[in-house]
A and B are shown apart, each in its own frame.
Chain A
Amino acid sequence: MTDKRDLRDKVASLFELPADVLMDCARLTLIGARELMVENHRGLYEYTTDKVVLSVPEGRLTVIGQDLGIRSISPDQLTLHGSIRGIHYGD
């Protein structure tokens, strides 16, 4: 699995392709500190008004903030809104 990831990483860097095209990873788009769009997510572990933990191919993605809400959710994309304070991988 790791070999496969390495190979994809090498191909992506060789052909200067965006990593999210070849590699199985989440794509995060942050608009200011108000909206976060996560593509290629795998679901939710936790959802409260000040913390949202998402399942992504890399593991867990934690978003910390205030008044967090989900604008929309579909199998391939999730949009969060609220006052975002921090994003990190892991719990």
Chain B
Amino acid sequence: MLRRLVAFLLGHLRIEVSGGRIERFLNLALEHNLALWNIQRTPDVMRVSLTIRDFLAMRPVARGAGVRVRLLSRQGMPFILVRLRRRPALILGALTCIAFIIWATSHIWIIKVQVTGPKNLDWRAVKAVAAEAGLRWGARKGDLDTRKIEAHIQERMGEMASWAIIRIQGTRAVIEVVEKVAVRRQGEVGCVNLVARRPGVIEEIIPFQGEPRVKKGDIVKTGDLLVECAFKYWEGGRPMVLPGTELPQRESTARTLVAQAIVRARVTHSRYEEIPLVQTVEVPTGREEQRWVLRWKDQSILLRGNEAPSFAKYQESRQTYGLPSWRNWRAPVELVLVSAREVEVRREPVPAQAAVEKATDRMESQLRWILGPSDKVTRPLQAEILEQTREFLGVRTTVETLEEIAQPRAGQPLPAPAPERTGQNSVHP
């Protein structure tokens, strides 16, 4: 195996030996220390493999044995390189392909979130929090510090997640999050009510579990009870009522439970904002100063230019030149070009229309955070100017939405019902 590899790297030839005395040819080759292999004999000729160097030293051997030598093929790396030299595009293509593979395999292309627990935690939220710490689609693996990202997730989602771990598997990052589970005392049945998280007018209520405490058209305030965490029944059975009349409320509680329901309400979002009518803008004067800095680890050495720009107000931009980093290796030395552009600070008036648009934009961006996937806007955003001075414009933006307003809140759990005694366990005197 090793000999074959060396022969491939150095290059080898396949020759055909005919005429003369074949055995003498082999003996003379041994005397001249020529290494031959893969020798195949036919009645007339013999085929032999040998290195380029041995082929060049073979002339006296062939002459001594009186044989004729014919070159059949050339194999190995030197010949491949010669052939490749004539095809630069092929080499470029192969190198580009290798570079692309290296580049592609050093980035994260798939992010998978595995949430273990009661599934109250949305995987998209975990992904968004991980992205804040740098773990996003296309992130360089070398730049990722999994410990830091795990700590960030823990810090941001500590209330819901008991721990998080990140595994990098090739170009895939797996975020495993284990949700916190409420520990219930023994002998107690869980009780989770649904309450309103913002004020509104109830439009729809579909209870799955629990006793609804509101109906369509009711006005609720923040924190009002919507669905009670109780499984109720009529003491003495279902009461008899006249057709068309409402049944009385079930009053007796059989057990507590985790209330589940869809409660949609019309909610009005209103926001008052004072938008300044004068804004300061920085306008470049066209003057620029540059300085070159050599950075060695944490130290900076000024190579050219002034330590600090001579301008009163300026904007800085940095451009770094250095060796390309590879995986988690970064060159300790880099050259930084710092450009400082002088700016002039001006106060410019803001048109009232632009101020109103700014207020509506802010409200829209806030709504994007507030509204869930099933929520929708029922009355479009309206802006009203309430106050206008030289300095600011007071704008009230209002929008009406139809949204899910129920949020869970822990209720008072009831003691667990005592286990029923069976005949086997009962004691008879």
Contact = CB atoms under 8 A, between A and B. Distances in A.
Given A69-B40, A71-B38, A73-B39, A46 B30 contact: no
A46 B42 contact: no
Interface in B12-68: 22-23, 26-27, 29-31, 33, 35-43, 46
A73 B32 CA distance: 12
B40 A44 contact: no
B37 A49 contact: no
Given A43-B30, A49-B41, A69-B40, A74 B22 contact: no
Contacts of A48: 41, 43
A18 interface: no
Contact of A43 (B26, B35, B36): B26
A77 to B, nearest CB: 10
Contacts of A46: 23
Contacts of A68: 41
Contact of B30 (A45, A69, A71, A73): A73
Interface of B is mostly: mixed
Contacts of A74: 30, 35
Interface residues of A, number: 15
A47 interface: yes
Contacts of B3: 72
Given A48-B41, A69-B41, A70-B39, A75 B23 contact: no
B37 A47 contact: no
A75 B46 CA distance: 19
Interface in A29-51: 43-49
Contacts of B42: 49
Contacts of B37: 70-73
Interface of B: 3, 22-23, 26-27, 29-31, 33, 35-43, 46
7 contacts: A44-B23, A45-B23, A49-B41, A70-B36, A72-B35, A72-B37, A73-B26
